Chain A
Amino acid sequence: MEVFLQQLINGITLGSIYGLIAIGYTMVFGIIGMVNFAHGDVFMVSAFVALIAFLFITTWIGVPSIAVALLLVLVVAMVFTSLVNWAIERLAYRPLRGSFRLAPLISAIGMSIFLSNFVQVTQGPRNKAIPPMVHGEMILFSQNGYNVTISLKQAIIWGVTAVLLVAFWYLVAKTRLGRAQRACEQDQKMAALVGVNVDQTISITFVIAAALAAVAGTLYLTYYGVVNFADGFVPGVKAFTAAVLGGIGSLPGAVIGGLLIGLIETFWSAYFSIDYKDVAAFSVLAITLIFLPQGLFGRPDVEKV
């Protein structure tokens, strides 16, 4: 029971990070129908930007409070990553809109290889580790000498994710921008006819996706304290799995899918074998796609001639 609760806490933490990345996949797929394969690497780039911002703020400027530093790092990572994703959309995806179906996917794969190797070349291939940013944990309860704890890091991740999800939900559901997005999702031509700037809406979608990935990247760095140029691929595929599991195109689905994938991975590692945790996540992807292709909350895919 204690182990179960502890793993539940760890799983939700991991799942929050996956969920934040998954939203990026699901939004981009919803609006232009492409799997943004480079999104995992955008997440990795954001973790690197956060790392550099953290080092810059702590060693060069020196901020008294760690909370302020963390907030600054988050903002810096969000700004730069948004710029990166905006540029990627502009250069690598926009010229291919209306091209044949696999073209954007191939372009995205190329972009993913480019991004991870760009970071490798500019920052070196080694793991980049930083001392833990936040300390402290709270013992929720203890039984039979086993403490079920939640660390401050985990609490921060839960809090930040929850706040951002509410803000994001408000943005999509209640604002003019969100309406434009949903309109483009349904019919781009019609949306353009009624005065929605389709290009701009798609650009903003990529910016929002990147900003959420940057939050995930910063939280990832805070949680693990180490980042590597190759760290984008596996979390990227897992987040995509989360998006598919929740039903691609559905925003709450992405978050719930992310939490489920985080929990599956954590419990699998705890109760079965840690070596095969990636196999567990990938199998979930395959099983979902085969038996439940529309996911938990997705609309069924209607085939039209």
Chain B
Amino acid sequence: MQQEPAVKGSNALGAVRDAAISALISLGLFLPLIGFETVVNIRNELTLDTRWPLLFTMVALVFVGRLAYSLFAAPRLAQRKQRALAVPAWLTMIGKWFAPFAVGFVIVYPILVLSTVGFSGALKWVDNFGIQILIYVMLGWGLNIVVGLAGLLDLGYVAFYAVGAYSYALLAKEFGFSFWLLLPLAGIMASFWGMLLGFPVLRLRGDYLAIVTLAFGEIIRVVLINWVDFTNGYAGISGIPRPTFFGIPFTAGEDGFAATFGLEFSPIYRTVFLYYVILALAFLTAFVTVRLRRLPVGRAWEALREDEVACRSLGLNTTNTKLTAFSIGAMFGGFAGSFFAARQGFISPESFTFIESATIVAIVVLGGMGSQIGVAVAAVVMIGGTEIMRELNFLKQIFGESFDPTQYRMLIFGFAMVVIMVFRPRGFVSTRQPTVFLKERKTISSDLVGEGHG
């Protein structure tokens, strides 16, 4: 009993010392970029302003945060590590019922929104939160085939998204084909490009493959910008035909959707229709993935992810296996792209930057590679979270009128990627159900799963 306070005292002292060191380092880190601000004055010269209060607030925050961490959070974390990692019963319960519940929820979501906030308020909720998130869920599931199942890190996935979007936009505008005809065509185009780009690079491994796919993604974007005759360059393509409901357009006219069914015209019908289209596409992606995992090719993907050398020694054609993953993933990217073009009615190369690719990769990795539910949850958190940032107007009252929360979107996004990687490198859902098993099905921690050199 006598020892206890002394230990505590030195702990507290150590914590204060740690916090002081952290604060000092952060002062050094923040001094140039937060302490000073470069502003252009009236004579169009660059001058320096100081922001000492902000700098010292940040440093103080680091001090307090570090102190709180080492005094309160660290001991608790250490305790938790010592205790056995038993999963509580209610968590397994949730895990079991989560997927059916989520599927039911997304199906009734537009109706739920319409009945709670009415027609005028629902547009934002269905469009910004519903459709926007579902596009990323679909892209995440598409990329999941490449990254999660086959273990090939593709940093240029947005290229296939762009191919899908541009093939829909150009073919619909030039030839007047309908959305339903062009949707599969866009998928085929994207998967063709997937094979074309995939074939030469799939011999590469891991990081190299990632960088080459990134380079291809950038090449396609630069071509889209500079081939003005074909793509209209930076200005993009506008006036892209919107999808119709079995031939009935969603317009205010006589033959429009609302008039045909005797309803009052409202833009919400189109939005709800688009919501169900992307929902169906996303479910299609998930369904195909689940079924493919049971086919020989799906098993080959997973085997490839775990150990490429072993696969080759067992006589798997690794190039073909990789190529199928790459092109099927690209096909779903193409579907999502053509949907995106149809929904926006306008596309430009700005929508297909590297940041998009990084976002999709982040969703797949943060969701726990290979886990469908994890990917969906990650998409909801990341995209829904960034959409919510737009809505946080009350922050303006705290930080003043000039405060714009959307500016901090990507900042927090990048930070979250690092933090989640550091604390949960296997993503949100870090256990995997093995597809193939001997005698009994055991859930294995993904920490035990080896890394393929894909």
Binding site for B on A (CB under 8 A): 34-35, 45, 48-49, 51-53, 55-56, 59-60, 80, 83-84, 87, 91-92, 95-96, 99-103, 105-107, 109-115, 117-124, 126, 128-131, 233, 237, 240-241, 244, 273, 275-276, 278-279, 282-283, 285-286, 289-290, 293, 303, 305
Contacts and interface: CB of A to CB of B under 8 A. Distances in A.
Contacts of B223: 279
A59 B48 CA distance: 8
B149 interface: no
B91 interface: no
B33 A110 contact: no
A305 B212 CA distance: 25
Contacts of B155: 109
30 contacts: A52-B32, A52-B33, A52-B36, A52-B38, A55-B46, A55-B48, A56-B36, A59-B48, A91-B422, A96-B425, A102-B365, A109-B358, A110-B362, A110-B413, A111-B414, A113-B355, A113-B413, A118-B411, A121-B408, A122-B34, A122-B37, A123-B33, A129-B46, A244-B211, A275-B225, A275-B226, A276-B226, A290-B203, A293-B203, A293-B204
A48 B415 contact: no
Contacts of A113: 355, 358, 410, 413-414, 417
A93 to B, nearest CB: 9
Interface in B392-429: 407-408, 410-411, 413-418, 421-422, 425-426
Nearest to B313: A305
Contacts of A278: 218-219, 222
Interface stretch (B23-31, B180-188, B266-274): B23-31
Contacts of A282: 215-216, 218-219, 222
Interface in B354-409: 354-355, 358, 361-362, 365, 407-408
Contacts of B286: none
B207 interface: yes
Nearest to A227: B38
B153 interface: yes
Given A60-B48, A101-B451, A80 B32 contact: yes
Q: Which 4 A-B pairs have the closest CB atoms?
A: A110-B417, A113-B414, A114-B414, A282-B215
Interface in B128-170: 153, 155
Contacts of A48: 32-33
B281 interface: no
Contact of A52 (B48, B212, B358, B361): B48
Nearest to B223: A279
Interface of B: 25, 28-29, 31-34, 36-38, 40, 45-48, 153, 155, 200-201, 203-204, 206-208, 210-212, 214-216, 218-219, 222-223, 225-226, 309-310, 354-355, 358, 361-362, 365, 407-408, 410-411, 413-418, 421-422, 425-426, 451, 453
Nearest to A29: B207
Most chain B beta-carbon neighbours within 10 Å: one of A84, A244, A273, A282? A282
A114 B411 contact: yes
B208 A55 contact: no
B233 to A, nearest CB: 10
Given A113-B358, A120-B407, A106 B33 contact: no
A104 to B, nearest CB: 8
A233 B354 contact: yes
Contacts of B226: 273, 275-276
A111 B48 contact: no
Nearest to A290: B200
Contact of B361 (A60, A87, A109): A109
A91 B417 CA distance: 13
B426 to A, nearest CB: 8
Contacts, number: 181
A101 B48 contact: no
Contacts of A303: 309, 453
A285 B211 contact: yes
Contact of B425 (A53, A103, A110, A290): A103
Contacts of B358: 109, 113
A96 B422 contact: yes
Contact of A106 (B48, B214, B421): B421
A279 B214 contact: no
A118 to B, nearest CB: 6
A110 B28 CA distance: 22
A117 B410 contact: yes
A53 B207 contact: no
B395 to A, nearest CB: 14
Contacts of B38: 51-52, 55, 123-124, 128
Given A80-B32, A130-B46, A285 B207 contact: no
Contacts of B222: 275-276, 278-279, 282
A118 B218 CA distance: 23
Contact of A289 (B153, B201, B219, B453): B201
B218 A111 contact: no
Contacts of B309: 303, 305
A116 B155 CA distance: 18
A48 B33 CA distance: 8
Given A99-B425, A276-B222, A278-B222, A107 B418 contact: yes
Contact of B218 (A106, A237, A305): A237
B425 A80 contact: no
Nearest to A55: B48
B414 A117 contact: yes
Contact of B37 (A123, A129, A237, A240): A123
Contact of A109 (B31, B208, B417): B417
Contact of A110 (B216, B407, B418): B418
A103 B206 CA distance: 11
A49 B422 contact: no
B414 A110 contact: yes
B418 A83 contact: no
A204 to B, nearest CB: 16
Given A83-B29, A275-B226, A290-B204, A100 B451 contact: yes
B206 A102 contact: yes
A121 B389 CA distance: 15
A233 B453 CA distance: 26
A188 B270 CA distance: 60
B204 A289 contact: yes
Contacts of A45: 33
A88 B111 CA distance: 47
B207 A105 contact: yes
B407 A106 contact: no
